[in-house]
A = this chain, B = another copy of it.
Amino acid sequence: MSLLKTVICVLWAVCVGQTAGSQNGPNIIIMLMDDMGWGDLGVFGEPSKETPNLDLMTAQGMLFPNFYTANPLCSPSRAALLTGRLPVRNGFYTTNAHARNAYTPQEIVGGISQDEILLPELLKKKDYVSKIIGKWHLGHRTQYLPLKHGFDEWLGSPNCHFGPYNNSVRPNIPVYNNSEMTGRYYEEFEINVKTGESNLTQIYLKEGLDFISQQAMAQRPFFLYWAPDATHAPVYASERFLGKSQRGRYGDAVMELDDSIGQILAHLVSLGIQNNTLVFFTSDNGAAVMSGPHQSGSNGPFLCGKETTFEGGMREPAIAWWPGRIPAGTVSYQLGSVMDLFSTSLSVAGVLPPDDRVIDGLDLSPVLFNNSLLDRPIFYYRGNQMMAVRIGQYKAHYWTWSNSWEEFNMGINFCPGQEVPGVTTHTPEEHTMQPLIFHLGHDPGERYPISVQSKEYRDVHRQVTAVVEKHLKDLIPGMPQLNMCDLAVMNWSPPGCERLGKCLKPPQSNPWKCDWPH
């Protein structure tokens, strides 16, 4: 969009924005970070205080210290967010082995099932225009792509930005503009793995600002799913931010994302649509502490990180912002989940959720608008296994596992510097008959299991048992989509590759049961 066009649209929107807003459902923006930890925000204690814009967003909105992902890994977390359903229901899990984290690397055959109904599909009923910017991760084969599942627009990529690859054994990951590829990472979309420099966040920022301007001008309600991946290894930042933080490249990436979020919020204000836009900020899983200090964020006081069902793996930073609707400067102790973003978005848009399936998300409207507290459990899944459940301040572990001795002895550590005997176990340990129970208020770091001989334990155990029995009784697992792998399905020849002369020749199909090591 040209500058003149932007100025006109801003002026025009300032005059009509409010009126237009009252005719439509509110705009919805979900800002989903990748592998950013709870402890990475200034407001959640990062010593370097790199997030002045998110801290300001908090002061103007509602902070959720008890907000969770549905799975400690990208793909199932994102599938849960967009379907409002646990991965074990929507199929984003594996049955190849017990309690294993599965996701969508290039060789995955599956993706989001045609039977699932995604948030943007439902928002169409109220004439929303939906755009995803950034990482999709719900399958990269043609039938799984965002424009087949309700999104109207897309700039971004189906997979993580790993690489560079040599395009013979493994192709570089494509970047899509809507339904066709527009280049590949490390080719048209540069990431310098050595220096950490890339302009991707700036590209995703500009795309977001432009989309918002366009919809404001068109007076159409919009859903923007803004999912940059700069904080996922290999972490990157643009030149202006490189070297600017107190803690290296990861912090630089955080600073650039924070700056971008500040710009997006300021843009909403300048367009005069801030009172008609719900913005929700969160992350897809805990910080990847196994990646060492240079490529990983912080999980603050919590145990372990990404891939695990300890708090460090699943508790997420979360802020809701809607000036005039959500009271400024509030803290909600509500137990929340990324799946609630599905239900809450539908609620504010005035769309009923599907009634032919179980929805795990909760409509947080009473929380956002009246600071109510809704009673609900949080289930911590790893693959096909419910590992733990939280009710109120209590968390009960039915299974514990960090990672295998085999991996651990190779130096892969999901809980570096942390070890709680009997808790951070290196074999999957079942505690079904006598779950490990922690009080997360007293003990957010899951270091002091409550004595099984105490009355407190017996009382909590009774309550938790009822919740778990009900959950498991009603649970009908969906068809697992992440069981099969095949090198032939990789991003050799994405749609649009012909036009760009970037089609690659796939190898012969030779599918195998994916091996998910942890």
A interface residues with partner B (beta carbon < 8 Å) = 39, 42-49, 59, 63, 65-66, 245-248, 250-251, 292-294, 298-301, 303, 331, 333, 393, 416-420, 439-448
Contact = CB atoms under 8 A, between A and B. Distances in A.
Contact of A300 (B42, B66, B301, B443): B301
Given A293-B447, A418-B419, A393 B39 contact: no
Contact of A47 (B444, B446, B447): B444
A441 B251 contact: yes
Contacts of A65: 47-49
A383 to B, nearest CB: 25
Contact of A333 (B246, B420, B442): B246
Contact of A441 (B248, B417, B442): B248
User: Which residue, of A245, A331, A416, A417, has the highest number of chain B Cβ atoms within 10 A?
Assistant: A417
A63 B45 contact: no
A293 B439 contact: yes
B59 A248 contact: no
Contacts of A298: 301, 444
A447 B417 contact: yes
A300 B45 contact: yes
Nearest to A44: B45
Contact of A293 (B293, B331, B448): B448
B246 A393 contact: yes
A448 B301 contact: no
Nearest to A59: B59
Contact of A303 (B42, B246, B300, B417): B417
Contacts of A442: 247-248, 250, 293-294
A447 B298 CA distance: 12
A83 B257 CA distance: 44
B45 A45 contact: yes
Nearest to A441: B247
